[in-house]
Amino acid sequence: MDSTFVIQLSELLRTNTALLEVDKTKFARPCSQLADMEVYENSLVVKSNALLFLGRRDKEKLLGIISKNGIADFDSSLKQIAGGQPIQLQICPINPTNTMALQKTLVYTLPAVVGLKKSVGLGDRLGLATPGHVRAVRQHKMFPIFAQQSIREMQRTNRTPAQVIQDAVWGVFQEGWQGGFGADADHLKTTEDIDRCAEAGFTFYTIDPSDYVDDAADTDEHEVLQKKVASLPWDALQTSLVETEKKYLNQVVKTEYFETEFNKETLFRAAAKYGRAIAHTAGLFRHLKSKLDDKPFELEMSVDETGTPTSILEHFFIASQLQRLDVEWASLAPRFSGKFEKGVDFIGEQEQFEATFTQHLSIAKLFEPYKLSLHSGSDKFSIYPFIARQAGDLIHLKTAGTSYLEALRVVAEHDPDLFSEIFAYALESYPNDRISYHVSAQPTQLEDQQSLNSDIVDQFDYRQMLHVTFGSVLTARRADGSTRFFTRLLKTLRNHEESYAQALELHIGKHLTPFDEY
Residue 513 has a CB neighbour count (10 Å cut-off) of 17
CB of 42 closer than 8 Å to CB of 54: no
Q: How far apart, in whole angstroms, are the C-alpha atoms of residue 344 and residue 4? A: 55
Q: How far apart, in whole angstroms, are the C-alpha atoms of residue 65 and residue 70? A: 7
Q: Exposed/middle/buried for 477, CB within 10 Å: 0-12, 13-18, 19+?
A: exposed
Our answer to whether residue 192 is catalytic in this structure is: no
Q: How far apart, in whole angstroms, are the C-alpha atoms of residue 254 and residue 50? A: 58
Task: Tell me which of 41, 167, 186, 314 is the catalytic residue.
Answer: 186
Task: Tell me which of 153, 193, 298, 300 is the catalytic residue.
Answer: 300
CB of 55 closer than 8 Å to CB of 41: no
Q: Exposed/middle/buried for 26, CB within 10 Å: 0-12, 13-18, 19+?
A: middle
Pairing of strands 77-80, 88-93: antiparallel
Helix/strand/coil (H/E/C) assignment for every residue in 314-364? HHHHHHHHHHHCCCCCCEEECCCCCECCCCCCCECCHHHHHHHHHHHHHHH
Report the alpha-carbon angle 141-147-151, nearest 5: 135
Our answer to whether residue 300 is catalytic in this structure is: yes
- The C-alpha torsion from 331 through 337 and 338 to 340, rounded to 10°, is 20
Among candidate residues 392, 387, 334, 366, the one with its CA nearest the CA of residue 518 = 392
- Residues linked to residue 352 through DSSP beta bridges, in sequence order: none
CB of 51 closer than 8 Å to CB of 31: yes
> Which amino acids are annotated catalytic?
186, 300
